Amino acid sequence: MQTAVLTQRNFFNLHKSAPFIDWVIVALVFLSGLLHPSPKVFYDSVLRIFLIITVPLFTFAFLIYRFSEKYGNRIQGERGKNPPIAEEAFGSARAMFVVACMAAWPTGMYRIGLPTGIVWTIKEMGLNWWLVVLEMYAGIIAVDALTYWKHRLLHTKMFFPFHKHHHSFRDPTPFAGFAVGPLETVLTFFPLLFICFPPAKHFAPLYFSAIVGFVFLNLYLHCGVTFSWLEKILPRIGLNSSAWHNVHHSDVNANFGEVSFIWDKVCKTTRADYEQKRSAAIS
């Protein structure tokens, strides 16, 4: 009984302290640059990467938002009020700042001539084309598993305070696509740090193409509408769709997959609502 009371008390304390912990994480990833081989290049890289990420991200978020609201099929019906776009954009900008700080580690090393895992040619990879593509698919499968179980972890009582910000956007827009807390951002994007190690080779053309593809997929997953042709194509290639992910925002305990629905099917964490919404979208 006493143990249960202590556990409950710790949960509520964490619930209150989670925002503070998230801001501490922001400060720590920023200050980590002081340990970089070249702090000056690190912080210059943070600024450059942040701008390179956020300017296109918010530009496309705006364009997709305007296009989807005009031509897409609303999933949750007409909006009763204007979406909190400023709050969504702030959450995404904060997350992208954390990403910029992590990406600045390998980028800064690359800029000062230190070896990293980024390679630009097949010859540098030491593999042929089909093995490079196979390695990329294996990486995507691994990331899909990582994000699924990370998402499940963040929906436990202990860790949900670090994830609830994203679920404050029940009927999201593309601006909410990356509006997640700093802890969740670190848990999602920490593989970027693997690039710091030369043996962990990443074939740049495919690697960056996969990242861009993930960004556009995520913007669609959070646009709040469906397009029938996308709802037909995406599930056929094993990827989530807007109808699929919107169920997660309306019911937080289902459809956890962030790239694919495979793990949801295996672990039986799907909701039947998805099939109804998808059928409505493609009919």
pTM of the full structure: 0.87
- pLDDT, residue 152, reads 92
Q: What is the mean pLDDT of residues 70-90?
A: 89
Residue 280 has pLDDT above 60, yes or no: no
**Position 41 pLDDT exceeds 60:** yes
The answer to whether residue 281 scores a pLDDT higher than 70 is: no
- Spans of all domains in the chain: 2-217
**pLDDT for 6:** 43
pLDDT of residue 273: 56
74, 225 Cβ separation under 8 angstroms: yes
Q: How far is CA 21 from the centre of its chain?
A: 20
What pLDDT is attached to residue 276? 54
Q: How many CB atoms lie within 10 A of CB 107?
A: 23
The residue among 69, 103, 76 whose CA lies nearest residue 186 is 103
**In b/e form, how buried is each residue of 168-192, taking b as 16+ CB within 10 angstroms?**
ebebbbbbbbbbbbbbbbbbbbeeb
Q: pLDDT tens digits for 167-226?
A: 888 889 999 999 999 999 999 999 999 999 999 888 888 888 888 999 999 999 999 899
pLDDT band at 34 (very low <50, low <70, confident <90, very high): very high
DSSP string, 120-173: -SHHHHTS-HHHHHHHHHHHHHHHHHHHHHHHHHHTSTTTGGGTHHHHT-SS--
Structure confidence at residue 153 (pLDDT): 92
Which band of pLDDT confidence, cut at 50, 70 and 90, is reported for residue 270?
Answer: confident
Cα dist from 113 to 28, 41, 106, 120, 193, whole Å: 25, 11, 11, 15, 17
Question: What pLDDT is attached to residue 5?
Answer: 44
pLDDT digits (tens, 9 = 90+) for 103-140: 999 999 999 999 999 989 888 878 778 787 888 788 88
